Amino acid sequence: MSGAANPVMPSDITINADPEKLAEFESRIADGVLIEPGDWMPDEYRAMMLRMAEHHANSEIIGALPEGEWITRAPSMLRKLALTAKVQDEVGHGQMLYRVSQELGKSRDDMLRDLVTGKTKYHNCFNYPCPTWADIAMVQWLIDGAAIMNQKTLADGAYGPYVRTMNRINMEEAFHFKSGEDMVLTLMSGTKGQKTMTQQAFDRWWPISLMFFGPEDKPNAEELPPMKWRMKVERNDSLRQRFVNRFAPAAIDLGLKINIVTKDEKGFVTSTKPDEAIKLDDSTGNWSFTEPDWDEFWRVIRGNGPCNAHRVALRRLSYEQGAWVRRAIANEEVAVPPAA
């Protein structure tokens, strides 16, 4: 599963920077100039960038867990290889994003410790279960599709090290999305059982995909730090609309039904009814849709989702189980001759 930047970044902050320097910094950003590590930046910018990059890194690391559960059960050699590579990519993205965060002032070990003790967060969408193989297809198609849309905009951000990392990551996300699309197409071309399983997984993941981009921004979002400093460049609602415009017609063409669902506390669907709002408005070119359950969103983000405790616990187990390896190689030096 792909990570994504924090959908609910704090926007009400007090900035204590030198007004002249701040004005120059902001005018540079407004001119589209990217910020590099040696440049002056307000402390608040550094703190927010760290928080954003760390949250993104955490999301990659935790995002490896739900899909990781299905690697050993992948039903063909191609799927087995692809899913392993995909989950491996998430770990690689986490590793790169932790490096961006380190440069902003926090050690990797501290970040991992804060993650496994629940002091820091990761993307909400990883707190939901993947009970069937079709969930893996949906995650790669919908969630990675959403992540690409989001990360493409993040690559237009203003912080150089994050931007170059995002460009690198997006190259790999294209594989994740295409592999997911191929899986969904295969399942929807398959047996009755496969189609049923896919519709059920779609019912679980459609509302999570809508929530992926986060709640509606404040009316003056463009004047508040996250957007003014180009940490994010597009409103959550606008990204969500683009997502629906692309995926609603694709789902319909594949024979999937877009439903409004209710779920139990384990994340399983308890009832469905067709989303009557789904239709194309010819005048705007936009597809209308029913908003997801934002109460659920806040409940899950506060730690009460179906899998929050389980995800963190497994990552913590990994941290504890591997401690002896990290201790053994700490400070060790093995010399090899330099290249000619």
Partner 1 sequence: MTMQTMLTDPLAAMLLAAADDLLMLGHVQSDWTGLAPILEEDIAASAMAQDDLSHALVIYEFLGGEHDLDPDTIAFDRNLEDYRCCDLVTVPDDFDWSISLCKRWLVASYSKLGFDRFATIEGDIGQRCARLRDEAAIHVAHLNNWIIRLGTGSQESNDRLQQAINKLIPEAGMLFEPPDAGLEQDESFCCGRQEIFEEWVDQNIATLSQANLQGTFTLPDREAVGGRRGIHADHFVEQFEEMTEVRRTEPSAAW
Partner 2 sequence: MSKIRETFINFDADLPSPTPDHRQWVVYTCKRAGAPYKWAGYLEAPDTELALQYAREHYGLDEACIGIICHDHTDGTDGPYGLEPLLPGEAHGDDGDCWTVFTLVHRGGNHQTAGNVKAPDADTALQRATSAFADGKIRSIRVVKSDRIYMTNDDESPIWPTHDMTYKLAKGYSKNVRAKWARFRDERTYEQYRKEDISKHF
Structure tokens at 5: 């930047």
Tokens 């629940």 sit on residue: 118
**Rounded CA separation 34/158 (Å):** 5
**Rounded CA separation 153/166 (Å):** 10
In angstroms, give the least distance from the CB of 111 to partner 1: 11
Tell me if 190 contacts partner 1 by CB under 8 A.
Answer: yes
Structure tokens at 98: 């932790």
- Which DSSP letter does residue 302 get? I
Binding mask 55-74 for partner 1 (x = CB under 8 A): ------x--xx--x-xxxxx
Tell me if 228 contacts partner 2 by CB under 8 A.
Answer: no
φ/ψ of residue 93, rounded to 5? -65, -40
Tokens 């070119």 sit on residue: 285
Binding mask 266-305 for partner 2 (x = CB under 8 A): ----------------------------------------
Comparing CB distances to partner 2, the nearer of 135 and 260 is 135
What residues numbered 111-140 form the site for partner 1, per CB under 8 A? 133
Tell me if 148 contacts partner 1 by CB under 8 A.
Answer: no
Single out the segment in contact with partner 1 by CB under 8 A; choices: 138-146, 191-199, 217-225, 277-285.
Answer: 191-199
Can you tell me which of 15, 280, 309, 323 binds partner 1, judged by CB under 8 A? 323
Tell me if 180 contacts partner 1 by CB under 8 A.
Answer: no
Structure tokens at 247: 């995926």
In angstroms, give the least distance from the CB of 202 to partner 1: 17
**Rounded CA separation 167/52 (Å):** 16
**Rounded CA separation 288/280 (Å):** 6
What residues numbered 187-226 form the site for partner 2, per CB under 8 A? 188-189
Tell me if 313 contacts partner 1 by CB under 8 A.
Answer: no
Q: Are 54 and 103 in contact (CB under 8 A)?
A: no
Q: How far is CA 165 from CA 56, 86, 162, 295, in A?
A: 11, 17, 5, 33
- Of 105, 82, 103, 239, which Cα lies nearest the Cα of 165? 103
Q: 267 — alpha (psi -120 to 50), left (phi > 0) or beta? A: left
In angstroms, give the least distance from the CB of 87 to partner 1: 5
Tell me if 310 contacts partner 2 by CB under 8 A.
Answer: yes
Tell me if 68 contacts partner 2 by CB under 8 A.
Answer: yes
Can you tell me which of 30, 33, 81, 174 binds partner 1, judged by CB under 8 A? 81
Neighbours of 200 (CB within 10 A): 18
> How big is the site for partner 1, counted in residues (CB under 8 A)?
49
Tell me if 90 contacts partner 1 by CB under 8 A.
Answer: yes
Element (H, E) at 309: helix 308-321
Q: Label residue 107 exposed, middle or buried (CB < 10 Å: 0-12, 13-18, 19+).
A: exposed
Can you tell me which of 148, 227, 239, 260 binds partner 2, judged by CB under 8 A? 148
Choose from partner 2, partner 1, none: what does 61 bind? Cβ within 5-8 Å by kind.
partner 1
- Interface residues toward partner 1, by CB under 8 A: 61, 64-65, 68, 70-77, 79-81, 84-85, 87-88, 90-92, 94-95, 98, 108, 133, 183, 186-187, 189-191, 193-194, 314, 317-318, 321-329, 332, 334
